Amino acid sequence: MAGTLQRRLGLSDAVVIGVGSMVGAGVFAVWGPAADVAGNGLLWGLVIAAVVAFCNATSSAQLAALHPESGGTYLYGRRQLGPGWGHLAGWGFVVGKTASCAAMALTIGAHLWPAHDRLFAVAAVVVITVLNIGGLSRTVAVTRLLLAVSLVALFVVVVGGWRGPDPSVGRLIPVRAGWSDIVQSAGLLFFAFAGYARIATLGEEVKDPATTIPRAIPLALFGVLLLYAVVAVTVLATVPVADLAGSGAPLVLVADRGGWPASSPLVRVGAGIAASGVLLNLLPGISRTGLAMARERDLPSWFAHVDPARSLPLRAELTVALIVIGLITVFDVRHSIGVSGMAVLTYYAVTNLAALTLRPEQRRWPRAVAVTGLIGCIVLAVSLPASVVVTGVGTLAIGVLMRAVVGGFRPPFG
pLDDT of residue 305: 86
Tell me if 262 sits within 8 A of 252, measured CB to CB.
no
Beta bridge partners of 206: 9
Helices and strands (H, E) in the chain, number of each type: 18, 0
pLDDT of residue 235: 92
**Residue 1 banded pLDDT, cuts 50, 70, 90:** very low
The stretch 279-287 carries a mean pLDDT of: 82
Beta bridge partners of 307: 312
Q: Which of 210-214, 286-290, 293-297 has the lowest mean pLDDT?
A: 210-214
Q: Which residue has the higher pLDDT, 81 or 399?
A: 81
10-25 burial string, b = 16+ CB within 10 Å, else e? ebebbbbbbbbbbbbb
Q: Which residue has the higher pLDDT, 412 or 33?
A: 33
Tell me if 347 sits within 8 A of 96, measured CB to CB.
yes
Listed in sequence order, the residues at least 6 apart from 191 whose beta carbon sits closer than 8 Å to its beta carbon are: 25, 26, 29, 30, 100, 103, 337, 340, 341, 344
- Convert the pLDDT of each residue in 240-278 to its tens digit: 888 888 777 788 888 888 778 788 888 888 888 888 877
**Residue 200 banded pLDDT, cuts 50, 70, 90:** low
Helix (H) or strand (E) holding 152: helix 136-162
Q: Is the dihedral angle over the CA atoms 201, 203, 209, 211 positive or is it negative?
A: positive
pLDDT of residue 16: 80
The stretch 345-351 carries a mean pLDDT of: 95
Q: Which residue has the higher pLDDT, 408 or 333?
A: 333
Query: Measured between alpha carbons, how far is 62 from 214 in angstroms, rounded to an integer?
Result: 7
pLDDT of residue 2: 46
- Convert the pLDDT of each residue in 94-123 to its tens digit: 899 899 899 889 889 888 888 898 999 999
The stretch 296-307 carries a mean pLDDT of: 83
Q: Which residue has the higher pLDDT, 147 or 113?
A: 113
Whether the per-residue pLDDT at 357 is higher than 90: the answer is yes
Q: Which of 138-142, 235-239, 287-291 has the lowest mean pLDDT?
A: 138-142
Percent of the chain with pLDDT over 70: 91
Would you identify the CATH topology of the domain 11-406?
A: Amino acid/polyamine transporter I (1.20.1740)
Could you state, in order of their start, the residue ranges of all structural domains in the chain?
11-406
Q: Where is mean pLDDT largest: 166-175, 313-322, 328-337?
A: 313-322
In the predicted model, what is the mean pLDDT of the chain? 84
Percent of the chain with pLDDT over 90: 29
Listed in sequence order, the residues at least 6 apart from 286 whose beta carbon sits closer than 8 Å to its beta carbon are: 93, 94, 97, 98, 101, 316, 320
The stretch 295-316 carries a mean pLDDT of: 83
The stretch 10-39 carries a mean pLDDT of: 81
Listed in sequence order, the residues at least 6 apart from 413 whose beta carbon sits closer than 8 Å to its beta carbon are: 82, 83, 84, 85, 88
Tell me if 201 sits within 8 A of 288, measured CB to CB.
yes
Query: Measured between alpha carbons, how far is 147 from 40 in angstroms, rounded to an integer?
Result: 28
pLDDT of residue 309: 78
Whether the per-residue pLDDT at 42 is higher than 70: the answer is yes
